Structure 1
C-alpha cells in the first residue's frame, strides 16, 4: 500500500515496490584491489540520486578451532586505522575460478601454517552495503593440524603475530570492543552460537547470493 510521505520531500512512499535502475555509470578510479564508480540511480517519484560504489573482490575469513576450543587469531597492522587489530585469518577472492573454500584453505595455511579436515560456512557479511559491494564469507575450520608456512611474506603480513585464544575469551574481546574487525566479530559470535547448539553451520559450498563479481570481471 502506498502511504503519504511525511519527510517533506513530497514523494509518495512506495512500500518496497520501486524498481531501482541505474541510469548512468562512470568509473572514478580503478586500482589493484578495488574500483570506485559513480552511478545515477532512479529513485521513487521519478527523481534520481548519485550513488558512489566501491567494487571489491570479496574475501574469506576463517574461524579455526582446535580440539580445546581455541581459535587462532592474527594481530595485523591496518593502515587506515593506524594500529594493529586482532582478526581472523583472511584473504581476497582474487584468484580467478578458485572456490571460496579453497581460498580459505590456502589463506589459512599461508597466514598461520594450519590446515583443517572439516569446513563449513558460518556467516556471510556485507561489510558496509551503503557504499561497497564487499562481502566476506566466514568459514568454520576444525580438525586442525600444522603445515609449512611460506618462508617469505609480503608487506604487513611480514609483521603478523599469531596467537591462540579460548573461543569464549575471543567472544568476550569482541563484545568488549577489543576486536573490531567486522567479519571477525560476526564469525566469532556465529562460532559460539554453533558450539552452543543455537544454530547450525552451512555446507562449505553453500550458495552465496551476494558474492561480489563486478570488479573481478573488469
Structure 2
C-alpha cells in the first residue's frame, strides 16, 4: 500500500455524517438509550446495521496542587459495579443537569466529590469514550489554585457508591508510572494522568481555554 506521511497540522479528526436510512429505538433507560441505525457508508451500497448507546456526555477533572516543588493530583477510589472493581479515578460525572455545559458540570462535580473549588480551569483533552458503539463525549479539565469550600456551603450529600469514596493525593510522576505499569484502568484516570504529565513536560503550553469548542 502507498501510505502517506501526514504533517502534524493534518492530523485532525473530521466530522462526517453518513446518510441514515432508518432508526429503530430499542430501549430507553434513565440516562442512556439503545438504538439501531441503517446507515449507508458509500453511495450505491446497501445500508449496514449499527447499534449504539446514546449518552448525555460527561466530564472529568484532574485537581492539581504543588507541594515542595512536586505536582500532586487528587484521586478518588470508587467501586464500579459493572466491572466489579474499585478504581482510582478523578472527580467525574454525567452532563445530567439541564442547561449545564462541560465547564459548569466539571465545577459542580469537583465541589460535590472533593469539597474543593478551583480558581484556574483549563482543558487537558477531549475524547469519545467508546466511539464504535457509544455517543459519549468526555472532556477532561485541569483544575488548579484549589481552595476548600467552607463548611457552611457544603450542601451535597454523598450516598450509594459515593458514600464509600476514598481520597488520596498522588505525585504526578507516581500516577504516570502506575498507568504504565497497568495498575490504573479507569479511562479518564489513564488519559487525564498521561496528558497532565505530557502538558507539564511542555511547560503547560498544550493547555486550552476552558470553553474551547470541539467535535462533540
TM-score calculated relative to the size of structure 2: 0.85
Q: What's the CA shift for 1:145?
A: 1.3
Structure 2 residue aligned with 1:111, among 110, 113, 133? Answer: 113
| Contact map agreement 1:67 1:143 (CA 8 A) in 2 | no
> Unpaired runs of 5+ in structure 1?
4-15, 211-218
Q: CA RMSD in A?
A: 1.9
Partner residue in 1 for 2:23: 25
Task: Report the secondary structure of 2:30's partner residue.
Answer: coil
Cα deviations across residues 123-158 of structure 1 (Å, max 9, x unaligned)?
Answer: 002111000010110000000111164462122111
Distance in 2, Cα, partners of 1:19 & 1:114 = 40
1:72–1:88 contact (8 Å) kept in structure 2: yes
Unaligned runs of 5+ in 2: 2-13
Instruction: Give the alignment of 1:49-198 within 5 angstroms.
Output: 49-68=48-67, 69-147=71-149, 149-150=154-155, 152-197=157-202
For residue 24 of structure 1, report the CA deviation from its aligned partner.
0.5
- Deviation of residue 19 (structure 1)? 6.7
Runs of 4+ in 1 over 2 A off after TM superposition: 148-152
Aligned-pair CA distance for 1:84: 0.4
From 206, 210, 213, the equivalent of 1:207 is 213
Alignment check: 8 A CA contact 2:62 2:142 kept: yes
For these two proteins, the number of residue pairs brought into alignment is 195
